[in-house]
Chain A
């Protein structure tokens, strides 16, 4: 507990001291950050890995950006209007924007990007399912017409979800083998300069960026350091100034935050809202029984996990939706840590000591420790747990092929239940071959209807009512065991200012950052 307070107070102290010394941004400087793991590519239209989005979010841009409260902010679009019936969205683009190779950015690029992404970007495909047509009446206007009102639509224009792709480079080519994929061209504040595989990626300032006076920073180096301990050492010895969320093990955060000139913030993940839970196989094994699943929720000590494994960072999850996501409600059944209740439920469920296979997430020590802790919790109430070890591809395969009983996971929620929550609970998303859809096999026609209605309900209040009902039902049924809303703290030198200002933090934050000498 004290660790958490220390962290919070330190963060507050940093913020206060920065406010006190409020001066204008200074130009110039080089920032050294780490990127882990090394992205396979920087062409974010084709590859949407976390690391790719983190680096490429500063090279490419989307039509909109989002504040930490997930309100839309101007990006490549300077203004926008939504029609009364919620079906027509009109965007006015910023004028005078050029791609890094000097060619002008126009509405034709937007149209091309929509086409491109429908073919290559699974999430964009899903987000654009309500799109009827998109038109460009002139060079700086784009009009989207939807088949039905779709509330979340304004939230899909983030740079990683719908990046703008240069038409003049990709039109008529085979997207996947276009040589330009190795030298990404965007409209963003930083240009791709150099990539030494296995060592670093180098971005340099875009002198013709469309926001005057930005960016302030001259160059960014993203260092590839595969070992978590080595990353911490790199920061300590001054070789690296920015440790984006998730780059060091949580156990190291308290120690690093005590170093001088170090500021830590948990912000910058509001758009993604990483939510962790345990997939519970609803089809077979003891987990197919609802009472067994409820017993699991009572048996697991999530507060201790938050304090010990995650160093006090994050929040205990109350249901399928993160607290920063729209229409979240806490008016749902509660599952506090109660081993006695768990044991009683296990008896009612008729559990007879069968072996239950648990699959940890092979993403590092924090997840391994967490799995061990949960195993302990379950063994304490009499569940016979066997831990299965896999590497990442093995995990992907086992989960996609439904070959598990309990499996750890975490997913991003993208601000709106229609974009990031529904896919895990509706029957239409039950399909082998993906670890991100309705993997647990939960099928409830009422839920299907609620999510289908909620996506296109209008106005907002209607959606709120629908999703509140859905959350209550889901928490009662426990299709998966929700664990924690994760927090991935970003650690920086205090002299790197204004880095985390949007809902996606470091991913597009270098635009507004500056270095105090």
Chain B
């Protein structure tokens, strides 16, 4: 399926590389990215073993990118899973039961969508004080509404299908129906959305770290851009390389999302999306 979509293949390839770097990188580069290894502000390619140069404290930028991959991808993945864990049940219940329950849940969802999401994320991190847990929680809390809406829409349309009617007639419980009959068929747009959400989560985390609200014990790409921001004039490489890393990862995820969309939604695929 994906072979027909070159963009999706490229995205998948890039993501695989990123995941490989995240998983195996620290094994091949055991020195912690926080270690001061050389003179500060060494330009890239001026010293063997330090292809991307060093930062304000003489730390290896390459090591930062490798260890940062782990943090950024993990944060993206876990916060998206958390968002899904909130949004899918909410949307499914709203779509299946309809009526007052649907109304109430949708009001609740709308409520969360009314507050500007980045502002709310900042406030939540400030309250919980910055740490990996608070960042993941904050991102999850501001990202779940679109999931709920999407799932609700899908469940609403699937609810009227014959096989669901059949299940009702044969006396299956509501939860069984939702779990076994409806959700599996509703999942394909959710998967597409999820891949885009991981991308957004990575951008959100890097924005929070840029503002200084990141976890200070974890080297992440956003943190590196933020840290290098004040010395961008004398050491452009400290901000450029992590920025590129973020760009490439988010791009890859977007390409995958589009590829998945083409593959899983064949009705639109003919239009050449």
Complex: A in contact with B (CB within 8 Å): yes
- The number of inter-chain residue pairs (CB within 8 angstroms) is 67
Contact A389 B130 (CB under 8 A): yes
In the bound complex, CA of A8 to CA of B230 (Å)? 23
The SS class assigned to the B binding surface is loop
A229 at the interface (CB under 8 A from B): yes
A199 at the interface (CB under 8 A from B): no
The SS class assigned to the A binding surface is helix
Contact A362 B212 (CB under 8 A): yes
- Given A369-B56, A389-B131, are A255 and B234 also a contact pair (CB < 8 Å)? yes
Number of interface residues of B (CB under 8 A): 24
Expressed in whole angstroms, the minimum distance between the Cβ of B107 and any Cβ of chain A is: 33
Contact with B along A264-296 (1 / 0, CB 8 A): 000000000000000000000000000000000
Residues of A within 8 A of B214 (CB): 389
Residues of B within 8 A of A394 (CB): 126, 129
Contact A229 B232 (CB under 8 A): yes
Contact with A along B26-63 (1 / 0, CB 8 A): 00000000111000100000000000000011100000
In the bound complex, CA of A251 to CA of B230 (Å)? 8
B233 at the interface (CB under 8 A from A): yes
- Given A376-B34, A389-B130, are A229 and B216 also a contact pair (CB < 8 Å)? no
A308 at the interface (CB under 8 A from B): yes
A228 at the interface (CB under 8 A from B): yes
In the bound complex, CA of A55 to CA of B129 (Å)? 32
Chain A minimum-CB-distance residue to B212: A362
In the bound complex, CA of A376 to CA of B56 (Å)? 14
In the bound complex, CA of A225 to CA of B160 (Å)? 58
Residues of A within 8 A of B212 (CB): 362, 368, 391
Contact A390 B129 (CB under 8 A): yes
**Contact count band on A:** 20 to 34
Chain A minimum-CB-distance residue to B41: A251
In the bound complex, CA of A209 to CA of B215 (Å)? 52
Contact B234 A251 (CB under 8 A): yes
B217 at the interface (CB under 8 A from A): yes
B229 at the interface (CB under 8 A from A): yes
B19 at the interface (CB under 8 A from A): no
In the bound complex, CA of A232 to CA of B232 (Å)? 11
Residues of B within 8 A of A368 (CB): 212, 216, 227
- Given A386-B217, A389-B129, A389-B216, are A365 and B230 also a contact pair (CB < 8 Å)? yes
Would you list the 3 A-B pairs with minimal beta carbon distance, nearest first? A389-B130, A249-B230, A387-B216
Residues of B within 8 A of A (CB): 34-36, 40, 56-58, 126, 129-131, 212-217, 227, 229-234
Sampled A-B contacts (21; CB under 8 Å):
A229-B229, A232-B233, A249-B230, A252-B231, A255-B234, A308-B58, A309-B57, A364-B230, A365-B227, A368-B212, A372-B34, A375-B34, A376-B36, A387-B216, A387-B217, A389-B130, A389-B215, A390-B129, A390-B130, A391-B126, A394-B126
